[in-house]
Structure 1
Amino acid sequence: MWSIGELAERAGVTVKTVRFYSDRGLLPEAARSAGGHRRYGPDALDRLRLIRSLRTLGLPVTEVGRVLDRDDALEDAVAGRLREVGSQLTALRWREAALQLLGDCTVEERAERLRLIGAIDTPPSTAALARFWRRTLPARFPARLAAKVLDAAVPQPPAEPTPAQVLIFARLHALVSGPCHRAVDCRPVFLLPDAEYRPAVLYEGLAEAYALASADLRARRPPRGGEALDCFVSAYAASRGTRDTPAFRRRLPGLLPPGADPVIARYWELTAELRAPSSGPAEPTAGAAHSWLCAALKTRTGRPAPAPDGRTP
């Protein structure tokens, strides 16, 4: 049996450390001496070394206690700690890139960049972007479809950003965080004021059309007729309770927005820049797919299509 001092010496720690873990129940004593002093058996040394290893990995005392009590708790504890460390590393990479961005700019650019960077967290949150898109969705829109829209429209911040990506995301955040760009309502009106349509039907169809058009965009095909355009037109027709006919196709350009929304157009431009890989073409955004389909509609109907911006009704 060892005294608290002997155990501390064998473990290479202070008596205060041994007492701290003992008082919290992590290092049970084996007995007490006649004078009331703590005594520890040989197994206490292995347990103390394990405690120190877990604490070195950053596990809090409460988590260490769970690992000691349950054989299967270590895996969960390590996974949780890895997530925490990953978040910390991402935050540090964003700060590093932001500092590089400020260090490489001119004096004239510095004030604006400080304002933009100061408005975002590190790592940044996408909550403002999600709120922006929720404002555009129709009332009583199905939650399942809303989640799909947000997944497609809200870009995830890169874990290892370049200084340029930090600036792009900061500008994107500033764009959606400003006051509503419409005097009355932030929700767009994409069909004629007297039009009645089923938003859920429209969005379901457009998601499929955008996916098909993205394949054409990746292949660098010019706007054209085909499966993607058929799906695009059918989505609008079905949402209005009608069929895809030549007459409807000639009419559809007039039902689409009369011009590009500058805020949305800028949103998709910044999103494409943020998602652009270091090499190779970027994955097409929903805005790019919408633009391609509107141009394809124009080529097939012979009617001027509106300058599209990629936002659906």
Structure 2
Amino acid sequence: MSTSHEASWSIGELAERAGVTVKSVRFYSDLGLLPEAFRSGGGHRRYAPEALERLRLIRSLRALDLPLPEVRRVLEDEEAAGRVLEDAVAGRLRELGDELKTLRWREAALRLVRECPPAQRAERLRLIGAVSTPPSTAPLARFWRAWLPPRMPAPATAAFLEVAVPQPPDEPDPAQVLAFAELHAMTTAPCPDGRQPQPEVHRVAGARGAAALYAGLAEAYGIADPQLRRAREPCPGEALDAYVAAYADAYVGRDTREFRRLLAARLATGPRLDRYWELTAVVLTPPGGRLEPTPGSADAWLRAALERDNAEAA
């Protein structure tokens, strides 16, 4: 770059015009982000007027909290500067979203401890202290992977986890923080005999049969969902028929009156995860809202509908 001495500024003059410290100008110069026009006879840095706009751009990028490597990419790749800046800003927005989520969860956790009776504080501190921030759903997913039959097809497993693992809300209230912490404690606690209890249908149906079962149950839960949202009493109908059909296919049987009685007996003695689904409903429900239906609440509604159907047919 060719610049006359009259059109150049010292490091102090540039710093004054840009409203920054000499230390900042020297820092960016040493990193190569702010090139010098030349050095004076005494070895002092001199800058061309264009350095002022470059310095202002650097400050603007840093004000967006972009890291120095991203600032360098924007400055050095003029042709792709727009794309590079867009990618850098998008990445920083994602990071800020995670940071804000972390802060909101910490705030709700602090309110939870502050608002609870003193006798409960130690236990609540233990619960929330075991959960990472932002909270991870990995322990819950591991719990369900151990519950599902081994070698169940990956797409079926993924579809089940999508509805069984509640995503923590970005702006929780204390009740949601407590519910998620209890879910974390429940799913990470060792089982009494070292292994999770398995429904009998997993053994009977096998991995692929269980995949078909869960797909059929998901369909039945979807049909029952409007009934749950309207707080209707459990009753026979399309949802129950789909529910029974899912089990009949898994057991390689037919939907008969005898099968419905047998199914009700088997479901009554199978392992239950009612508390898991109660906590999941709290995590999913916005503050002040009505509890959201879950696969667990839908299953309980359909089991009750089956019991009613059998009683009416007796």
TM surpasses 0.5: yes
Mapped pair 1:258 → 2:269: yes
Q: How big is the shift at 1:257?
A: 4.9
Say whether residues 1:39 and 2:72 are aligned partners: no
| Per-residue CA distance 1:39-71 (angstroms, 9 max, x = gap) | 322221011011111112211101111222222
Q: Aligned residue for 2:18?
A: 11
> What letter corresponds to residue 271 of structure 1 in structure 2?
T
Q: 1:218 maps to what in 2?
A: 229
2:131–2:184 CA contact under 8 A, matched in 1: yes
Structure 1 position 189, deviation (Å): 2.6
Identity among equivalent positions (%) equals 60
Matches of 2:109 and 2:232, distance apart in 1: 37
The equivalent of 2:294 in structure 1 is: 285
More helix by share: 2
With 282-291 and 251-260 compared, the bigger mean Cα shift is at 251-260
**What's the counterpart of residue 307 of structure 1?**
none
1:180 to 160, 173, 191: 191
Q: Does 1:300 align with 2:300?
A: no
Cα distance in structure 2, aligned partners of 1:216 and 1:61: 56
Q: Distance in 1 between matches of 2:218 and 2:236?
A: 17
* Alpha-carbon separation, structure 1, partners of 2:219 and 2:34: 60
| Structure 1 equivalent of residue 215 of structure 2 | 204
Deviations 1:241-285 (A, max 9, x none): 333334433332234351553xx1111111112222334422201
Corresponding residue for 2:5?
A: none
Per the alignment, do residues 92 and 44 of structure 1 end up closer, same or farther by CA in structure 2, a change over 3 Å counting? same
DSSP 3-state at the match of 1:71: helix
Relative to structure 1, the CA distance from residue 302 to residue 253 in structure 2 (aligned partners, 3 Å threshold; closer, same or farther) is same
Work out whether residues 216 and 243 of structure 2, in 8 Å CA contact, stay in contact via their aligned partners in 1: yes
Q: Is the 8 A contact 1:191 1:256 kept in 2?
A: no
Which amino acid in the other structure matches residue 40 of structure 1? Answer: Y
Q: Does the CA contact (< 8 Å) of 1:130 and 1:154 recur in 2?
A: yes
Q: CA deviation at 1:291?
A: 0.7
Instruction: Give the Cα separation in 2 of the matches to 1:289 and 1:159.
Output: 25
Given the alignment of the two structures, is residue 130 of structure 1 paired with residue 141 of structure 2, yes or no? yes
Q: Which runs of 5+ in 2 are unaligned?
A: 1-7
CA distance in 1, matches of 2:202, 2:246: 16
The equivalent of 1:22 in structure 2 is: 29
Between 1:36-45 and 1:168-177, the stretch displaced more is: 36-45
Q: In 2, Cα distance between the equivalents of 1:41 and 1:62?
A: 24
TM-score (norm 2): 0.87
| Count of residues in correspondence between the two structures | 300
TM-score (norm 1): 0.87
CA–CA separation in structure 2 for the residues paired with 1:161 and 1:280: 13
Residue type of the alignment partner of 1:27:
L
Q: RMSD in angstroms over aligned alpha carbons?
A: 2.2
